[in-house]
Chain A
Amino acid sequence: MTEGNNASPWGDLAIETRHLRKEFGHKVAVEDLTLSVPRGEIFGFLGPNGAGKTTAIKVLMGLVRATSGSARLLGLPPHDMRAKERVGFLPELFRFHEWLTAEQFLDFHGQLYGMALEKRRGRIPEVLDLVGLRAEAKYLLRTFSKGMQQRIGLAQAILNDPEVVLLDEPTSALDPLGRRDVRDLMRYLKSQGRTVFLNSHLLSEVEMVCDRVAIIDRGRVIATGALQELLAAALEVEIEAGGVTPAALEELRGLSQSVESLDGRIVVRLADREDIPAVAEALMRHGGKLYSLGRRRGSLEDLFIRVVEREESK
């Protein structure tokens, strides 16, 4: 399902793109991206490698110019200073100024945001706390591990208390504990009414925190919507039955999108809840013995693989 735009054109959205296209020479990085990210949610931006995610984020951050189409941050074009002041960004591959201490680094970025000295003095210890680097405030960035660099990157992204935070692979260098910290941070930002736009390969992580996702491939959105609705739409039923005849399986195939059968266990994927009784009825009509029948909640990974494979087989 795709988000409708019946509300005011750019009004309540944190991020919106319309028919965004970016070509590098002959290579099309983003083909036709139309995306709506409501405010106050954690939005997962997913897709296989080379799908155009980082390019799309770079367009939103004003690092790359779109070939055509439009992009809006908080209703403003990406180059607009009023948008830049209210947005935070953690780039994917970065190397910060290694000759600075964590504190000096944040002070410089605070000045780039235009924060006054007083404000910086108050805010820097706060964000160092939030990313768990309070004790390392006086350390040179040169001495930081990859995980610590990612944390300090997060700190500069939230330094100005932004309304929207775009995180490009924020946990790629972190261990499981670090990842949990980042999830907690994202939830905290959401509780403060902030919007988090998360590009991540870690689907389990996305599944844990995101309210809404968009899956893109070849620079187009191939699935988007509220995460719980998308997962619920992937309706799977697991059946344990005996005496299932080929004729019964044949009938099940007629009812469903896919049927997998192994050792008396059958997993049937259905389009509609009303098909569940029909499945049970068909099995029994063919003389099968039904021991159990349960609905299985699909995982984001299943959904991801299914929609991407469907797209790529086109």
Chain B
Amino acid sequence: MKLLLMARFTFREALHKRVVHGVGALSVAFLVLYGFLVWLAYRQLGEMGPAQMMALQFTLLGMNAVSGIGALLAVFLSVGTISSEVEAGTLHAIVPKPLSRRDVLWGKWLGYAAMLSVYVFLLSLAVSGIVALFSGSWSVETVPSALLLVLQSLVLLSLSVLGTTFLPTVANGVVVFGLYSVAMMSGFMEQLGSMIRNEAMVNVGIAVSLLVPSDAMGKLSSSLLQEGRSYVERIGPFMVNSQPSMWMVAYAILYVGVLLVVAQAIFSRRDL
């Protein structure tokens, strides 16, 4: 099947991209630094006692960093996958071959999605593994929480793939990062609104997360880890007051599908 051929090829191609080498090196540096910080903290906390309590905060910190790096990778991998290949003429040798443009577009998406999923999932496990190593406790919620971060990166990937079908590469990068930041900011407003019981702020936050459900996935991921924990354990920069509905997961999956269908429609009509 040509779609899977394109996906495999895109995955292999991504392994040769500098951005992937860069993010790989960055991830190793991050894990070393993170491990060192957790080790430093536990060396001291071990004597004081509240180590168990801090495990959640460290996991949340690590997972938020994974979320950020995953977002970066999602956008940089795919930001010019159509636009720059039209410019370079690479697609001019591929599109005339006996495969449909749908195969080209979905295949590319699938290749990047596979790479992001593996990367974000493994990095999440590494983060929670480091915390488990020092705190001695491992939470089963880590797995669904990591999967939600995967979904978050897929939302951004799909936005970027949609954008590259009609926007120049740099403009697409600016737009997708803009949307990512707006979603993050309104996610923060939503949490704040919930804390001070301002319904309007919460509603705006929800509306924006429907437009760009990336931050909602990040919040859901964080809140899963916090479930059933005491207020004292949860309190910190990553505390989730207003938990997005679990329906948002279904919504985000549907959202990804719709973006791809629209991207396919645009790409199929586009002159190359």
Contact = CB atoms under 8 A, between A and B. Distances in A.
Interface in B74-131: 88-90, 92-100
A185 interface: no
Interface residues of B, number: 20
Contact of A65 (B5, B94, B100, B269): B269
Contacts of A109: 93, 97
A87 interface: yes
Interface in A63-108: 63-65, 81, 84-85, 87, 89-97, 99, 108
Nearest to B99: A112
B2 interface: yes
A68 to B, nearest CB: 15
Contact of A95 (B13, B90, B99, B272): B90
A30 interface: no
Interface in B120-176: none
Contacts of A91: 89, 92-93
Given A81-B98, A84-B98, A109-B97, A94 B92 contact: yes
Interface in B3-20: 5, 9, 13, 16
B98 A94 contact: no
B92 A112 contact: no
Contacts of B88: 94-95
A63 B272 contact: yes
A62 interface: yes
B227 interface: no
A114 interface: yes
A24 interface: yes
Contacts of A92: 89
B47 interface: no
B97 to A, nearest CB: 4
A62 to B, nearest CB: 6
B89 A113 contact: no
Contacts of B9: 108
Contact of B97 (A58, A84, A96): A84
A65 B272 CA distance: 9
A148 interface: no
A62 B99 CA distance: 11
Closest 3 CB pairs of A and B: A94-B89, A91-B92, A112-B97
A111 interface: yes
Contacts of B16: 99
Contacts of B13: 97, 99
Contact of B5 (A87, A94, A111): A111
B90 A112 contact: no
A153 interface: yes
B187 to A, nearest CB: 38
21 contacts: A62-B95, A63-B95, A63-B271, A65-B271, A81-B98, A84-B96, A84-B97, A84-B98, A85-B98, A91-B92, A91-B93, A93-B89, A96-B90, A96-B93, A108-B9, A109-B97, A111-B5, A112-B98, A112-B99, A114-B98, A153-B93
